[in-house]
Amino acid sequence: MDAHNHARPTNGSLDEDVIPVVGGSVLDERTLVLNRSWMAVNVTTVRRALTLTYLGCARIVDPVNFDTFDFEQWISLEIGGSARVIQTVCSAIRVPELIVLQSYDKQPVLRVPFSRRNLFLRDNYRCQYCGVKASSDDLSVDHVFPRSRGGDSTWVNCVLACHGCNVRKGNRTPQEAGMRLLRQPSQPRWPVYISLGYHHRCASWRRFVADSNASESA
C-alpha cells in the first residue's frame, strides 16, 4: 500500500478526482466496518468506506452473498435493479453497506459514554422490570441500588423503568422489592447504535451485530 500513497488520497476523505459524485449526500450515509474476523467494529461514512477500499485497507462486502471486492472490482459491478447507487459523472456505483478491514485484527475495545440518551438506546425504550415499551416521557432512569443509599450512576447500576415500576420499587433494591430485572445491566459493547437510529440499519448488518437489541425495531 505504501507504494501507492503518493498517488492516492490519504487524508481520509474521498478525493474528488477518484469519484466525481453527482449529489454527494449518499456519501454521508453509513457503512458498517468489520475487522478481519468479520466482527463489527465501527460505523463509518460511505465516503470513508470507499476511500479505505480505494487505499487497499478494506474490501467491500456484498450484502447478499458476502463476497468481497476491491475498489476496481466494486466499481465495475453491474448495478442490479433495486441496488442503491452513487451517481457519478459517467457511471453509477453501488452503495457499500459493509466493508471488511484488511489489517485490523483487534477485538473492538470501545467505551460507550454513560448518558441518559445512550441508556435509552441500550435498553431500547423498554422498562427493564416489566418489559413494557414506552416513549421517553413514560420511562425514567432507575438506579438498581438506590442513589439515596449510595448507588452510582453507571451502566451497571442504571436501567430504564416505567413509572409504575419505579414507584413500586421506590427506595429499595429489586430483591427487597421482590422485582426482577429482565437482564443484568452492563456496559454496551456495540458502538453502532450510539450514532444511529435503528431505522438506519441495513438488513445486511444484523448478521454482524451481536447485541440482542439489534434485531428489534424501535
Distance CA 202, CA 31 (A): 9
Minimum distance from residue 124 beta carbon to Zn ion (Å): 14
Instruction: Report the residue number, 163 or 200, with the smaller CB distance to Zn ion.
Output: 163
- DSSP three-state, residue 54: helix
CB-based contact 83:94 (threshold 8 Å) = yes
**Nine-digit cell string for 55:** 487505499
Instruction: Report the residue number, 84 or 133, with the smaller CB distance to Zn ion.
Output: 133
Minimum distance from residue 179 beta carbon to Zn ion (Å): 9
Buried b (16+ CB within 10 A) or exposed e, 35-70: beeebbbbbbbbbbbbbbbbbeebbbbbbeeeebbe
CB-based contact 28:86 (threshold 8 Å) = no
**Nine-digit cell string for 14:** 474521498
Instruction: Report the residue number, 95 or 139, with the smaller CB distance to Zn ion.
Output: 139
β partners of residue 31:
44
Instruction: Report the residue number, 133 or 207, with the smaller CB distance to Zn ion.
Output: 133
Instruction: Report the residue number, 61 or 127, with the smaller CB distance to Zn ion.
Output: 127
**Contact residues for Zn ion, defined by CB under 5 A:** 127, 129-130, 162, 165
- DSSP three-state, residue 99: strand
